[in-house]
Copies of this chain bind each other. A is one copy, B any other.
Amino acid sequence: MPALKIFPDLKPIHILGLMSGTSCDGLDIAMVETRGAALQTRFKVRATQSIAYGAELTDQLLHFISKKEHSLKEISQFNFFMARTWAGQIEHFLKKYNIDKGHIDLIASHGQTLWHQPDPENFLNEKISSTLQLGDPAVLANLLNIPVVGNFRVADMALGGQGAPLIPYFDWVFFARFKKNILALNIGGISNITYIPADGSFEKVTAFDCGPGNMLIDGAMQLLYNKPFDADGAVAASGKNAGMLLNHIKGLDIFAKIKPPKSTGRELYNLNFIRDITRFAKKENIGAADIIHTITRYTALAIFEGYKNFVKHKIDALAIAGGGAKNSFLQKMLREYFGEIAVNPTSFYGLDEDFKEAIGFAILANETIRGNTSNVPSATGARGKTILGTICWVQKF
């Protein structure tokens, strides 16, 4: 049984990492030049772009995904449609940066998540947990004539894991070289953290979803201010803490108290959750800015408590990526809770906080084509390590 070593370890290869999030607003592309693998990985980000789908297509995609019932025909068409859309966006990206297509060795495509269910539920008399990302990697590969690695989450879930989070492997690859105890924090819709020990030991890496990221803040801003988000935390900064509301939110957040491994999506921190907060606030005469302030504070607190309760190690630094890295009031709150610990965006370490996931999946694909595993079983709960992603090869002439 030969190992899968398509590329010699020392030759640099060029990978396009693609991330298409659940918000369906567009595709993040990062062109990453990599060399080596695992802790010997060296990489440079050569170009990045976030390409919006446009409001009309975003609406159509969100509508499609949130519908209750689908025909097999439209599921099948969606799978091809998304890959075609991304192929067009990649052509645009390559043209913008004047990059020859033949220069790209590999694409790492996360795919569009249509379903993700780590907890098993009944299907034809069996308990089945499953995950479904569409936007077919073989379609993408053939339209561009570039090999594609996709469907990263399936293998881990087949081994009883949550299929998430997967970025902790990349956190380990990237942050271990700094030889500090670092907590890598990503604040997307959900917040998640990865602890990377100063000695680089893979076995000590700890990672899980903490709780709400921007999801509660954004949801409350839409409800109270009819704005998509709190730019730089200005509204939160103008309000003050409402202690009773903070305690109320703490009580509502049953996910934060669960012991890892754990992962969550939009199931808990949804409109019902936010309406519960605003109802309580109304009853207690708490104003809108104070609500946003308190939710923002809670978001920071849940991250800190996730760290305090479930990471059994002291840390030297907190490195923030994701949309939340742009909310300076949220960062201020994090500094308050984390005290002496250095709090910085990941760009402080040379990692673009806006493209961390796209870069991360490029690094995961780099492991895949070298035949290396890249799940973190302590983070996902999988029975063992596994090679993530399916490989769609193409013939180059």
Residues of chain B within 8 A (CB-CB) of A1 are 102, 105, 396
Bound CA–CA A234/B324 (angstroms) = 74
* Pairwise interchain contact A130-B69, C-beta atoms closer than 8 A: no
| Known contacts A70-B72, A151-B138; A386/B395 CB under 8 A | yes
Contact size range, A: 35 or more
Q: Are B4 and A123 in contact (CB under 8 A)?
A: no
Contact B394 A391 (CB under 8 A): no
Q: Is A274 an interface residue (CB 8 A)?
A: no
Q: Verify if A244 is at the interface (C-beta below 8 Å from B).
A: no
Tell me which of B8, B69, B72, B158 contacts A80 (CB under 8 A): B158
**Contact (Cβ within 8 A) A77 B130:** yes
Say whether A259 faces chain B, with CB atoms less than 8 Å apart.
no
Binding-face segment, A113-121, A218-226, A284-292, A358-366:
A113-121
**In the complex, what residues of B have CB within 8 A of residue A69's CB?**
69-71
- On chain B, the residues within 8 Å of A137 by CB distance are 390
A138 touches B155 (CB 8 A): yes
Complex contacts, A76 vs chain B, CB 8 Å = 114-115, 117, 130-132
Interface pair A393/B4, CB less than 8 Å apart: yes
Q: Which residue of B lies closest to A148 (CB)?
A: B390
| Number of identical protomers | 2
A266 to B227, CA, bound (A): 51
A166 to chain B, nearest CB (A): 14
Interface-facing stretch out of A37-45, A139-147, A205-213, A327-335? A139-147
- Interfacial chain B residues near A68, Cβ < 8 Å: 71
The residue of chain B having its C-beta at the shortest distance from the C-beta of A129 within the complex is B80
A385 on the B face (CB < 8 A):
yes
B138–A158 contact, CB under 8 A? yes
Contact B142 A75, beta carbon cutoff 8 Å: no
| Whole-angstrom CA separation of A385 from B142 in the bound complex | 10
17 examples of A-B residue contacts, CB within 8 angstroms: A2-B6, A4-B6, A4-B393, A64-B124, A70-B72, A70-B75, A72-B132, A76-B114, A77-B117, A81-B128, A136-B158, A138-B151, A141-B155, A141-B158, A373-B395, A385-B395, A391-B392
- Interface residues of A, Cβ cutoff 8 Å to B: 1-2, 4, 6-8, 57, 60, 64-65, 68-81, 83-84, 102, 105, 114-115, 117, 121, 123-124, 126, 128-132, 136-139, 141-143, 150-151, 154-155, 157-159, 368, 371, 373, 385-387, 389-396
Q: A75-B75, A76-B117, A81-B128 are in contact. List 7 more A-B contacts (CB 8 A).
A: A69-B71, A73-B117, A75-B132, A76-B130, A76-B131, A77-B117, A77-B121
